[in-house]
Structure 1
Amino acid sequence: MAQQALPERGARLGRPMGAAASRRTVHGVVLLLPGGDPDGGTRRPTRMSPAPVLPLARRLVRAGQEEGLAAHVVHYRCRGWNGPDAAAAADAEWATQEVVRRYGDVPVCLAGHGMGARAALRAAGHPAVASVVALAPWLPEPDALEPEPVKHLVGRQVLIAHGTNDERVDPELSYRFAERAKKVNRDVCRFEVHTDGHGMHQHRSEVQALAIDFLLGSLFATGYSRPVADALAAPPPLGLRMPLAAGFGSTLRR
């Protein structure tokens, strides 16, 4: 007897964190987009797929509790990007629309790592998206005929951080992307995490502090620390090759 194919499961939001979990008024939302595989097919993500972004989610909601920040991890329909389907980006767009349905007209930050960072950048054209945090984004080699889109980033504030020793994703590709994006949107900055790899574990506290500072400034207009403000204001390449070194987080913490 032939086995029946499992029905395709839609994307979903993980359990609410922060203001939504404590039943307080939500004034802003961050959606966490985990990494994945370039070609994962229709296989469902594993239960551990969201684990790498949970520590960042917890730190973000703690830092934004007074501002009414809520957070959700996005659970994808399938494991991979899957070429032209851009499945993770489509799921990020759905998740943003779901945030609007649940919480109304609140600003949204898309924060992703690896494939999730590319999804965050690609889905940022949704009107509710105010900002993007892209950590070690997986980006393809530049294609002169069909380059990765950047024009939809106009009006969004964009932070990219990438380890210089990333052996899984070439950090030069995120620099080239940021260079193109900066030409159409001055509110793009990129930090280089020296000697760190794809997961940026060596300087995790500094990277998380950077993400906190950027998120609070972009969603709640609380202002940026000087390093972030300088990076946003600087023309390329200065605003795209800003160093993030050990101890830098102490300068950014509020």
Structure 2
Amino acid sequence: MGDGGRLVVRRLPPRATAGVLVLPGGREHGLRRPALLDLAALRMRPFVTALAAATRDLPIALAEARYRHRGWNGERADAARDAVAAVGELSRLTGGGPVVLVGHSMGARAALRAAGAWGVNEAAGGAAGAAGRTGGPAVAVGEPAGPQDGAGGGPAGGEPRGPAGAGTVAGVVALGTWWPTGEPVGGLAGVRLVFVHALADRVTAPDESMQAAVQARAAGAQVCRYELAGGDHGMLRHAALWHALTTRTVCALLGLAVTAPEVASAFALPPGSADGLALPAETAVPRVRG
């Protein structure tokens, strides 16, 4: 990755029409750069592998966000700024095509901020076009256009945002979401959000993603939320289920697969409804074990 880069592309078909951006977790505070062998990023690699297999021969670009700092860092919201910039760069690489965000923990929080900044893209159904290519080394992408840093590497001030009316995000899959009290939900109206949380998560409480789901639906987002009995924050227990559910959901958000009935029903519910926010993940992909 080049100095200051926000994006590492794992697959870029010659005529990509859509993209998937994976955003790893991080820390509450930390100004150092993530390590080259960052555990949070490594935790997401099996998701990238599963997504690559599911979209083989399709014009779908796959990329991972790379943060400048390990932490969110309070009002600086460094991970959110990096996520906004990464979405913009991936959208440019796909010719303005829709992007689905897959975030874990801090990465889920950053993904939701980025979705609110860029706005909803309703053209995901046309994402599957000419065949793409798979494989090849990761490509480091340099500093994209987007929010600029202030002097000394700090933020320029204000909320991170994409161009007005950009309409880039096709949906978000938020895994084990870190959602502090008071987190904003601005800009999420119309965005499709699918939350998944392990009930035995001891790092981010399931109540956090429930609160995020309730707030987002009240703000006009189309929301569905799954709960996984047991499980853990690192998504190591029931790993195959995490990967399968995420992959199926991403493909549906991009219009590459039929939206699961329970998800479609949840998306259609009005603000204020609490239904569709505690769906059992085990029954979503019943044949998966592990």
Q: TM-score range by the shorter chain?
A: 0.7 to 0.9
User: Which residue of structure 2 lines up, in the alignment, with residue 68 of structure 1?
Assistant: 59
User: Are the aligned partners of 1:186 and 1:233 in contact in 2 as well (CA < 8 Å)?
Assistant: no
User: Are the aligned partners of 2:202 and 2:233 in contact in 1 as well (CA < 8 Å)?
Assistant: yes
> What is the aligned counterpart of 1:13 among 3, 7, 26?
7
Q: Measured at CA, do residues 31 and 182 of structure 1 come closer, stay the same or move farther in structure 2, by a change above 3 Å?
A: same
Q: Aligned-pair distance for 1:81?
A: 0.3
Q: Secondary structure at the match of 1:112?
A: strand
Q: Considering only aligned residues, what root-mean-square deviation do their CA atoms show, in Å?
A: 2.0
Q: Distance in 1 between matches of 2:224 and 2:287?
A: 17
> What is the aligned counterpart of 1:139 among 179, 183, 194?
179
User: Are the aligned partners of 2:103 and 2:110 in contact in 1 as well (CA < 8 Å)?
Assistant: yes
Q: Secondary structure at the match of 1:31?
A: strand
Q: Secondary structure at the match of 1:217?
A: helix
> What is the aligned counterpart of 1:33 among 23, 36, 45?
23
Structure number with the higher helix fraction is: 1
User: Are the aligned partners of 2:193 and 2:221 in contact in 1 as well (CA < 8 Å)?
Assistant: no
> What is the aligned counterpart of 2:33 among 15, 20, 44?
44
Q: Secondary structure at the match of 2:265?
A: helix
> What is the aligned counterpart of 1:185 among 220, 227, 231?
220
Return the TM-score normalized by structure 1.
0.85
> What is the aligned counterpart of 1:239 among 276, 284, 289?
276
Q: Measured at CA, do residues 199 and 38 of structure 1 come closer, stay the same or move farther in structure 2, by a change above 3 Å?
A: same
2:262 aligned with 1:227: yes
> How big is each residue's C-alpha offset from its partner over 1:84-142, in whole Å with a ceiling of 9 and x where there is no partner?
011001001011111133221100011111111110011102121111111001111x2
Q: Aligned-pair distance for 1:238?
A: 2.4
Q: Distance in 1 between matches of 2:266 and 2:234?
A: 22
Return the TM-score normalized by structure 2.
0.75
Moved more, 29-38 or 125-134: 125-134
Q: Distance in 1 between matches of 2:176 and 2:99?
A: 20
How many pairs align?
Answer: 234
Q: Distance in 2 between matches of 1:14 and 1:183?
A: 34
2:134 aligned with 1:97: no
Q: Aligned-pair distance for 1:186?
A: 4.9
Code of the residue aligned with 1:75 in structure 2: it is R
Q: Secondary structure at the match of 2:45?
A: helix
Q: Aligned-pair distance for 1:230?
A: 3.4
Q: Distance in 2 between matches of 1:149 and 1:91?
A: 17
User: Which residue of structure 2 lines up, in the alignment, with residue 59 of structure 1?
Assistant: 50
User: Are the aligned partners of 1:110 and 1:120 in contact in 2 as well (CA < 8 Å)?
Assistant: yes
Q: Distance in 2 between matches of 1:151 and 1:188?
A: 15
Q: Secondary structure at the match of 1:76?
A: coil
Q: Secondary structure at the match of 2:187?
A: helix
Code of the residue aligned with 1:74 in structure 2: it is A
Q: Distance in 2 between matches of 1:233 and 1:205?
A: 28
Q: Secondary structure at the match of 1:132?
A: strand
User: Are the aligned partners of 2:34 and 2:69 in contact in 1 as well (CA < 8 Å)?
Assistant: yes
2:234 aligned with 1:199: yes
Q: Distance in 1 between matches of 2:98 and 2:29?
A: 31
Q: Please, which runs of 5 or more residues in structure 1 have no aligned partner?
A: 1-8
Matches within 5 A, 1:78-117: 78-117=69-108
Q: Please, which runs of 5 or more residues in structure 2 have no aligned partner?
A: 119-166
Higher-RCO chain (CA-CA 8 Å, sequence separation at least 6): 2
Q: Aligned-pair distance for 1:179?
A: 0.8
Q: Distance in 2 between matches of 1:54 and 1:202?
A: 16
Matches within 5 A, 1:143-154: 147-154=182-189
Q: Distance in 2 between matches of 1:172 and 1:90?
A: 25
User: Which residue of structure 1 lines up, in the alignment, with residue 192 of structure 2?
Assistant: 157
Q: Distance in 2 between matches of 1:165 and 1:53?
A: 19
User: Which residue of structure 2 lines up, in the alignment, with residue 3 of structure 1?
Assistant: none
Q: Aligned-pair distance for 1:203?
A: 1.9
Q: Distance in 2 between matches of 1:232 and 1:242?
A: 13
